[in-house]
Structure 1
Amino acid sequence: MPITLLGPRLADPGTEFVYHGPADDCEGCPYRQQCLNLTEGVRYEVTDVREGGQVLDCAVHDEGAVAVDVEPTTIPATVPSKGAYAGSKGKLAGPCPHTECPSHEFCEPAGASFDTEYQIAEIDGEPPHDHCALDRDLTLVEFAPAER
């Protein structure tokens, strides 16, 4: 289980984030090896906050940083319904300009890209929208966590 550093506001079990690599402010930080040890573009979930650790100075997080355990996690997403079943591979249907749609966060999920095929871990059913403005027949799924 990877250990990394996060700001205290993010350091709660269940919090999910996509690691985007080092920020410019990370340059010269003495904690770089403990902090910048995740895979870019992967969605992670905080599984535990290390007890008894100190809050470390951090140029990125205004309240400092604390040690947390993280694991790659599933990505909730919508895929074309045809051929979507647990265990199969699926791809996102493509970009969607309808940001007000209740399914938009699943059509363009953080941690997934349009040109990648993902293993479908489970089928969650119907997406939250009543009708797709792009007339797509979509199913809500969970993409399997990224391989470490």
Structure 2
Amino acid sequence: MVEVRHITLVSYLTAKEGYTFVFSGPAPECNNCRFKKVCIDKLKKGHVYRVVRVLGVKNRCPVNQYVITVEVEEAAIEAAVPTRLAIEGMIINYSKIVCGMSNCINNKVCNPKYLPSSGKVKIVEVLGRLQCPKKIPLTKVRVIVI
């Protein structure tokens, strides 16, 4: 998979390599900001990004006090999908796995923190079968939001 990287701005509090975030869209103050094109225009609402490099340039921000210039890439998130859909490169309509077992060892991949409850995702890597206590045929994959 070719990682597309973008230069953007993030809060000085989160400008650390490895920091992962979901872009939830611009604040109203962003619409007239001179940094809008580099800060938010390249990011897609609902997509997950990871800071891969901190460039260190600091600018004032009406929303976050200060922002730091960073390089981000779209982050692949580990998730569980029905085994019949676990094909690398496939775009699927993803839904979190709902089984009622909140204490299950697979709960973090069945209900990943950074993915919406449902939506289109692309499977970028198949990691292997999961042992589901309810015998649901599931496979652990890495996905990106489409």
TM-score scaled by structure 1? 0.72
**CA RMSD for the aligned pairs?**
2.9
Identity of aligned residues (%): 28
Q: Could you tell me which amino acid in structure 2 is paired with residue 85 of structure 1?
A: I
Mean Cα deviation higher: 77-86 or 101-110: 101-110
**What does residue 121 of structure 1 align with?**
124
CA–CA separation in structure 1 for the residues paired with 2:87 and 2:31: 44
Counterpart secondary structure, 1:106: helix
Unaligned runs of 5+ residues in structure 1 are none
Counterpart secondary structure, 2:81: strand
CA–CA separation in structure 2 for the residues paired with 1:27 and 1:99: 41
Q: CA 1:138–1:32 in 2, change beyond 3 Å: closer, same or farther?
A: same
CA–CA separation in structure 2 for the residues paired with 1:56 and 1:91: 39
Q: CA 1:77–1:3 in 2, change beyond 3 Å: closer, same or farther?
A: same
Partner of residue 48 from structure 2, selected from 34, 37, 43: 43
Partner of residue 32 from structure 1, selected from 10, 33, 36: 36
The structure in which a higher percent of residues are strand is 2
For 1:45-64, list aligned pairs within 5 A.
Answer: 45-51=50-56, 53=57, 55-61=58-64, 64=66
**What does residue 81 of structure 1 align with?**
83
CA–CA separation in structure 2 for the residues paired with 1:111 and 1:130: 20
**What does residue 8 of structure 1 align with?**
12
Q: CA 1:136–1:7 in 2, change beyond 3 Å: closer, same or farther?
A: same
Task: Give the total of aligned pairs.
Answer: 139
**What does residue 103 of structure 1 align with?**
106
Residue 108 of structure 1, CA deviation: 3.4
Q: Could you tell me which amino acid in structure 1 is paired with residue 137 of structure 2?
A: D
Residue 113 of structure 1, CA deviation: 5.1
**What does residue 141 of structure 1 align with?**
141
CA–CA separation in structure 2 for the residues paired with 1:98 and 1:10: 33
Q: CA 1:3–1:83 in 2, change beyond 3 Å: closer, same or farther?
A: closer
